Amino acid sequence: MLVMKYCTNISSVSAQCIRSLTSQQEPLKKGDMPIKMENPYKTPPKTCILCNITVDFKNVQLLSQFISPHTGRIYGRHITGLCGRKQKEVSKAIKKARSMGFMSVTLKDPQFIKDPDICGIKHFE
């Protein structure tokens, strides 16, 4: 007896569900469509720090930020975090400046030692 009742209850419920599903198949209202817009959660394009900055051999202060203060050696790409193009430009500019007598080879100009650290390298103290 109980089993029979349970069966009928289920069948009635399922019938109702089916009815509600079919009723929703009416044509959607025009005001309900999603509005076309640009992705609001878009991440800004990844740029390196020297993006849109011209690198000049005369700008010794800028170039000195990419060399070691102890030895004057140029930092590699994994330290500076520059894109391929800018790293090459900086490297070429530093070598040019050195040969032309603008920048020192073995050390960093003392007046530029206190400049903010771009490369984030930790020197052994």
Partner 1 sequence: MPRYELCVILKAMQRPETAAVLRRTVETLLERGAVVRSLESLGERRLPYKISKHDSRHTHGGYFSVDFHASPKIVSELLDHLERDIDVLRPTLLKKDPELSQTHCCGAQAEEAKSAASR
Binding site for partner 1 (CB under 8 A): 45-48, 51-52, 54, 58, 83, 85-86, 96, 98-105, 109
Measured CA to CA, the distance from residue 66 to residue 38 in angstroms comes to 38
Smallest distance, Å, CB 120 to partner 1? 19
Q: Are 90 and 49 in contact (CB under 8 A)?
A: no
Q: How far is the CB of 32 from partner 1 (least distance, A)?
A: 31
Tell me whether residue 83 or residue 119 sits nearer to partner 1 (CB atom): 83
Pick between residue 31 and residue 45 the one whose CB is nearest to partner 1.
45
The candidate with the shortest Cα–Cα distance to 64, out of 12, 99, 116, is 116
Residue (20 or 54) nearer to partner 1, CB = 54
By C-alpha distance, which of 85, 65, 61 is closest to 74?
65
